[in-house]
Chain A
């Protein structure tokens, strides 16, 4: 039972490039979320999903897209990377709306 798996662990991009951060969970959880964590800012919600085919925006959605075609996977796409998107990105999942979230170990993204 791997829990929440994020790939890659590290990535360096140039401004304007696009990429997809992968997130997969094997707990059959309906709820999945993407957060970014910046120094002095805490964890901020980017997008979330309450089930396959259903997504919604969080606090800081601009510049990011998501889709949820399966229960297991919830990829996060950066459309045109900007230096302001340099951050650590965490994916999380939970079974029901008020259960605790389980986090992956993050993707550390640097944009030059």
Chain B
């Protein structure tokens, strides 16, 4: 069964304090791993897609990496506006078009 586990559930950082969010996954034939950002009262907003181990993607202060078992979302020198819930999802071969989501990591950045 395809599964996604995100850790930690919640993370509090000071502005400028870099850290990483983890997404561990079990999937039969990874077709893609997706990172989303979700603000309160809004729908998830797409950040990155990773397709194969070793791949990396960057956007502003965010960098996503992928291994065969997990993905990391590295946040460098975060700002208060980076506060949000970050969701990880995988698409496996057996699931067809379905995405399996983790429960998310809620990030709070204080100034």
A residues in contact (CB < 8 Å) with B: 4, 31, 33, 35, 40-45, 48, 50, 58-59, 90, 92, 97-106
Contacts and interface: CB of A to CB of B under 8 A. Distances in A.
B101 A43 contact: yes
20 contacts: A42-B87, A42-B101, A42-B103, A43-B99, A43-B101, A44-B101, A50-B97, A59-B98, A97-B31, A98-B51, A100-B34, A100-B46, A100-B49, A101-B34, A101-B99, A102-B46, A103-B43, A103-B45, A105-B42, A106-B42
Contacts of B31: 97-98
Interface string B91-105: 100001111011110
Interface of B: 31-32, 34, 36, 41-46, 49, 51, 87, 89, 91, 96-99, 101-104
Contacts of A102: 46
A66 to B, nearest CB: 14
Contacts of A43: 44, 87, 89, 99, 101
Contacts of B43: 4, 90, 92, 103-106
Contact of B103 (A31, A41, A45, A103): A41
Contacts of A50: 97
B47 to A, nearest CB: 9
